[in-house]
Amino acid sequence: MPARKQKLTSMDDIARLANVSKPTVSRALKDSPLINPETKKRILSLARQHGYSVNWNARKLRTNRSNTVAVVMHLPPQASETASAPFFFQLLNDVARGLWIRHHDVLLCAPESDDPYSYESMIASKRADGIIFFGQGPGDEWLRSLARTRVPFVVWGAADERAAYCTVGSDNFKGGMLAGKRFAALGRSRVLFAGNRAHPEMEQRRQGLGIGLRAGDRKAEISDLETSDFTLETAHRLMRGYLARPGAARPDAVFAGSDSVAMGVILALREAGVGIPDETSVIGYNDLPMAQYFEPPLSTIRQDTHQAGSLLVEKLFQALEGVKPASATVPTHLVIRET
């Protein structure tokens, strides 16, 4: 811990102390090869000694780069729901790591609105160089429209079939198919899909489910439980309502768009006295760390968030360099536990 005498704010101050000019200090601190190693050492030590560090804002202004990436996530409005969306925090963890390694700062944002303009101005004002979106949300028109601007961004979510923008996402289709095949193999025929089909990735999962089921010999029918969000609580409530409908046929299999939803569904099924997995099989999505400790341990579709995080970062950096990155997908596996 250096002993500071007083606040030295400017590069000029250090320059004076070192008997050199401001540009020399600038270069020295940047470890430029132009500067004599001795001078460099002297300057560095002086700067350290006086607790000086370059003004980041001045640098950003001059270089016109902020070295900052905005991460936009839909934080749940209620704190209590946070744990129902742990998947995004896991992803945040991995993405942040990737950015730090590349010496970029992480600016955490929640969408003020899904107005492309607010994101444009975020870039125009140089608060961030690029944006990583976590999830498309219901409908992705705004993303398509954002893609028509100069804003560099990548999205975690379902691939856009028109490829208007770059996405990284799990292979939703295959994930759904794996679940469908599994159900078919178990001889299930009354399948319920619990999720929100307005979200592109959810729709893809559902499509895959259909194909997977049809791959079996038997015919199976799929019904839907639309959930407005992906929290355990909502899923629980809606599923309870679903089961209470008069004359409702109980599903013998449920594929949920996320593990949280799967857990909510299981709670409701249990309350209704449905045996799991005897009467009804359940498969979730994401393989949240909690999934294996749930009772009964949850069968689910797993994807590698670590890889997802690096891909997102990598693609964004491509975008920053002006090349249009190709979308990518991370593989999915079925993890069979006890549901």
Partner DNA sequence: GCGGTCAATGCAACGGGTTGCAATTGAGAG
Partner DNA sequence: CTCTCAATTGCAACCCGTTGCATTGACCGC
Q: Which of 2, 4, 19, 248 binds DNA (CB under 7 A)?
A: 19
Please name which of 66, 109, 107 lies closest in space to residue 320, comparing C-alpha atoms: 66
Please state the closest distance from residue 126 (CB atom) to DNA, in A. Answer: 8
Which residues 7-46 are close enough to bind its own copies by CB under 8 A?
7
3-state secondary structure 240-281: HHHHHCCCCCCCCEEEECCHHHHHHHHHHHHHCCCCCCCCCE
Q: Provide the 3-class DSSP secondary structure of residue 154.
A: strand
What does the per-residue mask of binding to its own copies show for 137-166, with x meaning CB under 8 A?
Answer: --------x----x----------------
User: Which H or E element spans position 283?
Assistant: strand 281-286
Q: Which of 3, 5, 31, 64 binds DNA (CB under 7 A)?
A: 64
Residue 280 CA to residue 230 CA, distance in Å, equals 21
Burial class (CB in 10 A: 0-12, 13-18, 19+), 120: middle
Residue type, 3: A
Q: Number of helices and strands (H, E) in the chain? A: 12, 12
Q: If binding is defined by CB under 8 A, does position 3 make contact with its own copies? A: no
From the list 15-23, 69-77, 129-137, 189-197, the region that binds its own copies by CB under 8 A is 69-77
Find which of DNA, its own copies, none residue 12 binds, CB within 5 to 8 Å per kind: DNA
Find which of DNA, its own copies, none residue 34 binds, CB within 5 to 8 Å per kind: DNA
Cβ–Cβ under 8 Å, residues 327 and 308:
no
Cβ–Cβ under 8 Å, residues 255 and 183:
yes
From the list 28-36, 91-99, 190-198, 316-324, the region that binds its own copies by CB under 8 A is 91-99
Find which of its own copies, DNA, none residue 316 binds, CB within 5 to 8 Å per kind: none
Residue ranges in contact with its own copies by CB under 8 A = 1-2, 7, 51-58, 60-61, 66, 71, 75-76, 79-84, 86, 89-90, 92-94, 96-97, 100, 105-110, 116-117, 120-121, 124-127, 145, 150, 232, 263, 267, 288-290, 293-295, 305-306, 309
